[in-house]
Amino acid sequence: MKLYEMTAHQLHDLLARKEITSRELTESVLKRIEEWEGRIHAYLTLTPEMALEQAAAADLRIQKGEAGPLTGIPLALKDVICTRGLRTTCGSHILDNFIPPYDATVTEKLRDAGAVFVGKTNMDEFAMGSSTENSAFGPSRNPWDTQRIPGGSSGGSAAAVAADECIASLGSDTGGSIRQPAACCGVVGMKPTYGRVSRYGLVAFASSLDQIGPFSKDVRDTALVLNAISGHEPRDSTSVDLPVPDYTRALVGDVRRMVLGVPRETSGQGIDPQVTKSVGEAIEVLKKLGAKTVEVSLPHSAYALAVYYIIAPCEASSNLARYDGVKYGFRAKGAQDLLDMYQETRGQGFGAEVKRRIMLGTYALSAGYYDAYYLKASRVRTLIRRDFEKAFEKCDAIVLPTAPTPAFKIGEKVDDPLQMYLSDIFTIPCNLAGLPGLSLPCGFSREGLPIGLQILGNLFQEEKVLRVAHAFEKNTDHHLRKPKL
């Protein structure tokens, strides 16, 4: 097995035993990137020199016996996460030349852990999208079929892990932007509970929904990254002040006496029967492992899409008002006056989907519409939360599909925004309720495309989610399949 194909925990063992060095490992990954990046386009910025410097530093730490689980491991960061001194574009022209003067908290934590950064990954512009086709710099491609989308908005981070162009990566999830690409690319993707991971340095899309989370090749790596990035942050008022358990201790490989909730509402129009079949089989595996299943009802999940596509654009329209050409980023040339400067800068700097959502959000917050849209959606959000509270009285975790279909073809849904939005029907409710959610591969379609199983937990119950995921993974081998590149 090549170094770049391995998981972080496997590599940590090799590094700790001094069988390999971080330098060797990093060079292996960089070479892999050289071979495949042309076809995958997972990255917007590659940092080979910095990576090798970090690898050298990591090797020193390892020699001194001071290595942690992520020391010397090559990782990638979604380009929505600030990295000091390193271009951070959010997949947008308007930040094409933006160099943050500070590190996001997660960046700091990973640096402290001794990780190696190989680059910043591609994404839908400002995290708005489900296919990475909204990137101002061209889409990323699904390693399983480069004519297809890798999912979005964290498509680059998912594709990079699936193609072994990094060992693990970070993405962000607002309505499914980690879980859905994880399903499309056949990797593990997790969104922690809202407030578990600091948002300081995460460029905001929808503040009450955004969370940073890991992409990895297996559940153990997910736990390791989660350990490293979680924790209270005084610079983020929404960050929760709870101790971080060692998430690897949840990986007991056993789901006996656990009760899994299966939502009644996860069948219907638009769901590929192959997805239904795969997920059904996955639930059977879990039952054979000793878990009980119980039907739960999430009656308001039918409204989740509408709620999300009001709340997220409203918050986004406000969060993106700062991109005005005054202080940083792109400024249109030749503006006649201030109004002209604003309109030209934002008109030229933003892509169509971003503009569409800003318009939607601005409209929904404007005079006379606030009650009917934002306020109404926020009340229905409460009902969606209550549905989950009731469901979790009966079960430890909820299992359902991650996405209604496997990865679709590039270009297939760009002209129909509403169709594109429907990719998120299973992932959105979890963001609205702030719950932790994970996707891992549970099967493949006839075309050989990955299908994802989604596991949701109650607030701050990441351990239960990881436990179910790990037990399933241990007893299946979907996660061991690699795309033929």
Residue 41: count of CB within 10 angstroms of its CB = 22
Q: If you search the block for the tokens 């609205």, which residue do you land on?
A: 432
d(CA 427, CA 390): 19
User: Is residue 234 involved in binding other proteins (CB under 8 A)?
Assistant: yes
- Which residue lies nearer to other proteins by CB, 289 or 335? 335
Locate 247 and state its tokens: 């998430």
Enclosing H/E stretch for 260: strand 259-263
Among this protein's residues, is 130 annotated catalytic? no
Q: How far is the CB of 257 from other proteins (least distance, A)?
A: 28
User: Is residue 429 involved in binding other proteins (CB under 8 A)?
Assistant: no
d(CA 4, CA 24): 10
User: Is residue 465 involved in binding other proteins (CB under 8 A)?
Assistant: no
Instruction: Please report, as residue ranges, which positions from 4 to 43 form the binding site for other proteins (by CB under 8 A).
Output: none
Q: How far is the CB of 421 from other proteins (least distance, A)?
A: 8
User: Is residue 199 involved in binding other proteins (CB under 8 A)?
Assistant: yes
d(CA 287, CA 276): 16
Q: How far is the CB of 138 from other proteins (least distance, A)?
A: 21
User: Is residue 382 involved in binding other proteins (CB under 8 A)?
Assistant: yes
Which span sits near other proteins by CB under 8 A: 58-66, 275-283, 331-339, 400-408? Answer: 331-339
Locate 390 and state its tokens: 């009731």
- Which residue lies nearer to other proteins by CB, 202 or 224? 202
Residue 304: count of CB within 10 angstroms of its CB = 26
Which of these is catalytic: 153, 172, 216, 301?
Answer: 153
d(CA 164, CA 4): 6
Instruction: Please report, as residue ranges, which positions from 86 to 105 form the binding site for other proteins (by CB under 8 A).
Output: 88, 90, 95, 97-102, 104
- Which residue lies nearer to other proteins by CB, 374 or 392? 374
d(CA 478, CA 171): 22
Which span sits near other proteins by CB under 8 A: 16-24, 303-311, 397-405, 467-475? Answer: 303-311
Q: How far is the CB of 480 from other proteins (least distance, A)?
A: 35
User: Is residue 308 involved in binding other proteins (CB under 8 A)?
Assistant: no
Instruction: Please report, as residue ranges, which positions from 39 to 78 form the binding site for other proteins (by CB under 8 A).
Output: none
Among this protein's residues, is 153 annotated catalytic? yes
Which of these is catalytic: 28, 92, 131, 177?
Answer: 177
Instruction: Please report, as residue ranges, which positions from 274 to 293 form the binding site for other proteins (by CB under 8 A).
Output: none
Phi-psi map region of 210: left, alpha, beta (phi>0 left; psi -120 to 50 alpha): beta
Which span sits near other proteins by CB under 8 A: 133-141, 205-213, 406-414, 448-456? Answer: 205-213
- For other proteins, the binding residue among 1, 269, 339, 477 (CB under 8 A) is 339
User: Is residue 237 involved in binding other proteins (CB under 8 A)?
Assistant: yes
- For other proteins, the binding residue among 37, 254, 272, 324 (CB under 8 A) is 324
- DSSP letter for 220, please: H
Helix, strand, coil tally for the chain in percent (to 5): 45, 15, 40
Residue 412: count of CB within 10 angstroms of its CB = 16
Is the separation of the CB atoms in 70 and 114 below 8 Å?
A: yes
Instruction: Please name the amino acid found at residue 447.
Output: E
Locate 42 and state its tokens: 């997972």
* DSSP-assigned beta bridge partners for residue 399: 455
User: Is residue 310 involved in binding other proteins (CB under 8 A)?
Assistant: yes
d(CA 204, CA 345): 19
Among this protein's residues, is 78 annotated catalytic? yes
Whether the CA torsion 237, 305, 275, 267 is positive or negative: it is: positive
- For other proteins, the binding residue among 160, 163, 204, 449 (CB under 8 A) is 204
Q: If you search the block for the tokens 């006996």, which residue do you land on?
A: 256
User: Is residue 390 involved in binding other proteins (CB under 8 A)?
Assistant: no
Which span sits near other proteins by CB under 8 A: 67-75, 243-251, 300-308, 441-449? Answer: 300-308
Which span sits near other proteins by CB under 8 A: 7-15, 213-221, 281-289, 330-338? Answer: 330-338
Locate 104 and state its tokens: 């996001």
Q: How far is CA 294 from CA 204, 261, 267, 391, 460, in A?
A: 37, 5, 16, 10, 22
- For other proteins, the binding residue among 63, 147, 366, 475 (CB under 8 A) is 366
Q: How far is the CB of 397 from other proteins (least distance, A)?
A: 18
Residue 111: count of CB within 10 angstroms of its CB = 16
- For other proteins, the binding residue among 343, 393, 409, 448 (CB under 8 A) is 343
- For other proteins, the binding residue among 296, 341, 398, 456 (CB under 8 A) is 341
Pair type for strands 188-191 and 437-444: antiparallel
- For other proteins, the binding residue among 252, 294, 383, 480 (CB under 8 A) is 383
- Which residue lies nearer to other proteins by CB, 51 or 209? 209
Give the active site residues: 78, 153, 177
